[in-house]
Amino acid sequence: MSALRITLAQINPTLGDLGGNIGLMRQAAAKAAQQEAAIVVFPELSLTGYLPGDLLDEDDFLIRCADALAELQAATRQTPGLCWVVGAPMPRRGPGKALENSLLVLRDGEIVLRYAKQLLPTYNIFDERRYFEPGPDVARVLRVGEARVGFLICEDGWNDAGDDYAVNPFLRLADAAPDLVVAINASPSSLGKREQRHALFTAASQRHGLPLVYVNQVGGHDQLVFDGASFAVTPADGVVFEATRFAEAVVTLQWRDGQFLTADGVVPPPVPAEGLPVMAFYRRQIVLGLRDYARRCGFRQAVVGCSGGIDSALTLALAVEALGAANVVAIGMPSRYSSAGSVDDSVMLCRNLGIDLHIHPIGEIVAACEQGFAASFGETLQGLAAENLQARVRGMVLMAYSNSHGHLLLTTGNKSEISVGYCTLYGDTNGGLGLIGDLYKTDVFALSRHINASAGRELIPAAIIDKEPSAELAPGQRDSDSLPPYPVLDNILKRLIEGPRLSGSEWSEVERTHADLSASARGRALIARVRQLVDRNEYKRRQAPPILHLRARAFGSGRQMPIAAHYERGDKA
């Protein structure tokens, strides 16, 4: 068999931007044609971006999709003989949903193959069954040159072990005996996801004796970030090629004599089994997620409330990396409880990052609100109400600046605090996007140290990293006054929220903490208290801004719990 040249087009489509997405595909196809490829492969739903959501319920959008597909078909005439493998929503007839999540092979202006996704994920962040009808249990194979190429769409390739669905499209495709499998994907990135993909598709490739090309989209879409990392697998050697992570890539490979080669006929460099270190992964994912979110929502600049604490410091450092120092503004809002050290630390942080720091004291505003409340209601604000007033005044100032200057307000809450409700609605929860809301507090410390280490200097001052966490809303207040130490709290939360989805080493640490606490009545009471805090603060999380997903189970679409519910837990520990 002569060599088959395949171009992996790892593009960054924008949801609903049909014309822009076609432009990306045109550019990639032109490059594929220059490299004499026979096939150019785009990600799942590459025409619309993944997932358009309820846009798919709008007649106007579906009309635009049909027009865009016609435009795309016409574009394929400019690359004679080249097969474009694209993803698009397609209409269907009969009972059930009116659409299919389809893979189309376009060539010379014609649709030469159509395949409908059979396994529609409806779990975690996925909700495809809301819009699509499953495709029939059939395999689709197309002869391209001397090769028989079979096709799959994302989830169709994830059930080869038969654990999640009664249907196994991979097995059906293997029965059709293709020479090569092409899988188009929109696989969101999370910690450990790359390794999971490699293990699953390597096992399937070996089980069926089939080489496979896996093409994934890249970019940030609301809370989700897609890392690309498209790859090629052979039964003999496993993953033998991997595209760049967190960046667009258009790469041509040759399939010849049972192996994948580069476009120049060279064996690709070995693919490391381990991906990025954990902190480097978090950093890359957050930076790409913020950059695309801001760009797609029309923001060039961001504003962050700078308290002198580690959460706002890390948020500012990540924002600077994503948007540039000239496009990030910090606002310090000291109250009568703010320490001089916190103000000084904010000044040093912003000097290190090269960003402007504006100081807007809130003491007089808070005092005026307290006086007005007393005059209207005949009582003085005390305790939690007085503390939260300060946070809400700060939120008001930040939103006023955002409205006045057009900056995107970034929230600074971490996953530990959001889990237990250690945040103020309409105060520090104000904003358009949360960068660190899927990082536990211990991760926040670790990522801050990682950023300093990689910079070779203190971008985030050691004084901020080393100080005891405090909201500074009351005299002498410390987080530890109302919460257990963060290493303990985080392990309790990970068991409650993430569960066995955690990696082996992390899960082992979590289980050790759980065993130690469960050995005493005091420890069991602490677990129960944390669980109660998580349960009763769902209403706050529901009203919080989107959070960039980093882990397998993030707040938002990744963890959907009722608000008005009675949580009766069988396991009191």
Catalytic residues, which ones? 44, 117, 154
Residue with the two structure tokens 């405090």: 470
Closest among 511, 551, 496 to 278, alpha carbons compared: 551
250 beta partners? 9
- Longest distance between any two alpha carbons in the chain, whole Å: 89
254 beta partners? 5, 261
DSSP state of 547: B
CB distance 234 to 179 below 8 Å: no
The token pair at 288 is 């790409």
CB distance 116 to 135 below 8 Å: yes
Rounded Cα distance between 469 and 466, Å, is 9
**Through-space distance between the first and last CA atoms of the chain, rounded to whole angstroms:** 62
For the sheet containing 39-41, what is the strand order? 110-116, 99-107, 83-91, 39-41, 4-10, 249-256, 259-262
Where are the alpha helices (H) located in 421-495, listed in sequence order? 441-455, 462-466, 486-493
Closest among 202, 204, 283, 233 to 447, alpha carbons compared: 283
Closest among 331, 312, 329, 323 to 290, alpha carbons compared: 323
CB distance 203 to 187 below 8 Å: no
